[in-house]
């Protein structure tokens, strides 16, 4: 078993500003006022964040049950569904993870959205989402590098709530970690707090395949990210 | 129609708040919803007409463009900001009864869920289309919904949820509402919700976007 926790600074992460601009509605050309200064403000402030965190836990007591679309780990049965099972096929170990953009930006976005300036709040919100994903990317890269040392490969990452994997399995996933890992807790309705957090699993093995996460895998028909995101 | 109201509709459509606001670039240094609403009222335009022929057509165009992916959330929020600036001038007339909204819409994110951007967008668009909106916030249980319905006779209810684990709470809330005040219409929405789920839980209407629920309310 292997556990790692990271504390990231924003300058260690890669934020795709073009993607952020696209989510704000501007996939071409410069951002108009006030969005340019709003984005600058949100980014500048985010460089001061000290609570961007990620953690993974590698477990080797696992089985990918393709017949029943189950993932067995540490005696727990994750009902991940057919697609995720297929993607994790051949894994000898699994890395479960939690990543968070942190409480600071989650709360700042929420406060602005609720009161003072919803537009600025939304920009913080989008930056927070991008940070959570970027922390995921960084953690995934570290995992890849660590596994390469032993000649292992990794798959892409997969999350409860996507591809027919029920969000309720978050409870099982969180039971694999000590309380408030990365500062994240889970409500009884399986909502992570702070909100700008992600969780999931990555397959590890000699023969696993890393595949880009195509929108076609997902069942969300009217997702705003279908047009803009590359995952 | 009054030229001012046409201008006001454009301010709402493009999110032009006031003269000082630089947004949108093509309306820079022009008057915004704030000044135009004031001027219309001072010039004797009926507040009801300002709502019906200034604000509503503007917001309707935003709703349609948003549905068609021609504008995104930030542009809608700008429009909502322009609208609420105009509404500040109109509030006294709603309170005195000199102007009237079309009905009441009670909205909340259901028990266990804290997401509110989607819910807020629906609230803003429904308000911009001439309805009074009672926003109960997030993590709202059936008791709170029912209390609000009893306070606002004839109101239509909107339930929002963003996770499949909280979406299930819509079923209980809908049936409790129908038990307490049977004639209440319940509309639902949020990323994981769909038409089949709406039918299954006995709600009255599902819309994937705010404009859908506006059209539903307008048909009633
Ligand atoms: C951005 C995003 C994130 C961000 C931020 C999340 C946040 N809470 O702030 C990050 C990356 C952190 C994230 C994380 C997760 N996410 Co996420 N996320 C999204 C995404 C891409 C956009 C959400 C958004 O901001 N939409 C914009 C708003 C405006 O849209 P909206 O809320 O849906 O509202 C609109 C409509 O639904 C409608 N509407 C809403 N309410 C109502 C009410 C009525 C009455 C009506 C008529 C209409 C209506 O009108 C609104 C305007 O059009 C969605 C997919 C999608 N495109 O929707 C997934 C999505 C919400 N996420 C999902 C999941 C599963 C997760 C995670 C659980 C994944 C994981 N294991 O890590 C976590 C959970 C986070 C947590 N805190 O617990 C699922 C939820 C469905 C499910 N299976 O339960 C979605 C739907 C993606 C999917 N699989 O299809 N997520």
Query: What confidence tens digit (pLDDT) does each residue in B41-72 have?
Result: 999 999 999 999 999 999 999 999 999 999 99
Q: What is the CATH number of the domain that holds A88?
A: 3.40.109.40
pLDDT of residue A115: 83
Distances (CA, A) of B76 to A37, B55, B119: 18, 14, 13
pTM attached to this predicted model = 0.94
Ligand 1 pocket at CB < 6 A: A 129, 132-133, 159-162, 167, 191-192, 195-200, 220, 223-225; B 73, 115, 117-119, 121-122, 158-160, 162-164, 187-192, 207, 209-210, 212-213
Q: What is the rounded average pLDDT of the residues B86-109?
A: 94
- In angstroms, rounded to a whole number, what is the distance separating the alpha carbons of residues A99 and A192? 10
Whole-complex ipTM: 0.91
Q: Annotate B143-165 with b (16+ C-beta within 10 A) or e (fewer).
A: ebbbebbeebeebbbbbbbbbbb
Between A28 and A94, name the one with better pLDDT. Answer: A94
Domain B2-96 adopts which CATH fold?
1.10.1240
DSSP string, A126-138: HHHHHHHHHHHHH
Q: Note whether residue A223 is domain-resident.
A: no
Confirm whether A222 is domain-assigned: no
**B23 neighbourhood in chain A, CB within 8 Å:** 32-35
- Cβ-nearest to B191 among A32, A119, A220: A220
Q: Measured between alpha carbons, how far is A99 from A52 in angstroms, rounded to an integer?
A: 8
Residue A219 has pLDDT above 70, yes or no: no
Mean per-residue pLDDT, B123-145: 96
Whole-number pLDDT of residue A229: 44
> Across chain B, where does the E strand assignment appear?
104-109, 132-135, 156-160, 186-189, 205-206
CB-closest option in A119, A189, A222 to B165: A189
Q: What is the rounded CA–CA span in Å between residue A207 and residue B49?
A: 69
- Does position A224 have pLDDT exceeding 80, yes or no? no
Residue A231 lies in a domain: no
Report how many domains make up chain A.
Answer: 1
A contact set with B (CB within 8 A):
23-25, 32-35, 113-114, 118-119, 122-123, 125, 161, 166-168, 170, 187-191, 193, 195, 220, 222-224, 227
pLDDT band at A35 (very low <50, low <70, confident <90, very high): very high
| Domain positions in chain B | 2-96, 104-219
B interface with A, Cβ–Cβ below 8 Å:
21-25, 69, 71-75, 77-78, 80-81, 111-117, 120, 163-166, 169, 191, 208-209
- CATH number, span B104-219: 3.40.50.280
Query: For residue A111, is it within any domain?
Result: yes
Q: What is the rounded average pLDDT of the residues A125-134?
A: 97
Closest among A226, A230, A229 to A218, alpha carbons compared: A226
Choosing from B191, B203, B207, B212 the residue with most ligand 1 atoms within 8 A of its CB, the one to mutate for a pocket test is: B191
Which residues constitute the domain of residue A106?
2-217
Task: Give me chain B's average pLDDT, please.
Answer: 96
């Amino acid at each position: 078993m292997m556990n790692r926790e990271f504390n990231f600074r924003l300058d260690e992460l890669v934020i795709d500003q073009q993607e952020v601009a696209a989510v704000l509605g501007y996939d071409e050309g410069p951002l108009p006022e006030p969005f340019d200064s709003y984005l600058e403000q949100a980014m500048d402030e985010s460089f001061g964040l000290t609570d961007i965190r990620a953690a993974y836990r590698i477990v080797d007591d696992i089985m990918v049950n393709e017949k029943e679309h189950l993932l067995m780990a540490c005696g727990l049965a994750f009902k991940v569904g057919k697609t995720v099972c297929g993607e994790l096929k051949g894994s000898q170990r699994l890395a479960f993870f939690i990543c968070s953009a942190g409480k600071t930006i989650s709360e700042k976005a929420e406060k602005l959205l609720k009161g003072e300036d919803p537009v600025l709040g939304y920009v913080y919100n989008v930056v927070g989402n991008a940070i959570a994903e970027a922390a995921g990317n960084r953690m995934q890269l570290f995992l890849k590098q660590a596994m390469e040392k032993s000649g292992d490969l990794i798959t892409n990452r997969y999350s409860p709530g996507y591809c027919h994997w029920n969000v309720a399995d978050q409870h099982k996933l969180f039971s694999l970690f000590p309380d408030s890992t990365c500062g994240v807790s889970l409500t009884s309705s399986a909502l992570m707090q702070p909100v700008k957090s992600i969780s999931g699993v990555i397959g590890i093995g000699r023969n696993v395949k890393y595949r880009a996460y195509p929108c076609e895998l997902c069942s969300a028909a009217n997702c705003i990210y279908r047009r803009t995101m590359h995952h | 129609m009054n030229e001012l109201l046409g201008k006001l509709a454009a301010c709402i459509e493009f999110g032009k708040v006031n003269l000082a606001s630089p947004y949108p670039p093509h309306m820079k240094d022009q008057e915004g919803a704030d000044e135009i609403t004031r001027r219309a009222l001072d010039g004797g335009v009926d507040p009801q007409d300002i709502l019906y022929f200034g604000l509503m057509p503007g917001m309707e165009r935003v709703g349609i463009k948003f549905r068609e992916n021609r504008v995104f959330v930030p542009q809608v929020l700008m429009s909502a900001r322009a609208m609420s600036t105009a509404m500040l001038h109109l509030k006294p007339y709603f309170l005195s009864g000199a102007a009237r909204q079309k009905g009441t819409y009670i909205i909340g994110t259901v028990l266990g869920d804290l997401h509110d951007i989607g819910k807020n967008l629906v609230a803003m668009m429904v308000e911009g289309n001439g309805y009074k909106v009672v926003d109960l916030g997030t993590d709202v249980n059936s008791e709170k919904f029912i209390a609000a319905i009893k306070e606002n006779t004839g109101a239509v209810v909107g339930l929002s949820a963003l996770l499949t684990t909280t979406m299930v709470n819509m079923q209980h809330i809908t049936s409790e509402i129908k038990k307490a005040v049977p004639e209440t219409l319940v509309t639902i929405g949020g990323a994981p919700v769909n038409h089949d789920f709406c039918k299954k839980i006995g709600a009255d209407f599902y819309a994937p976007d705010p404009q859908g629920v506006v059209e539903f309310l307008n048909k009633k």
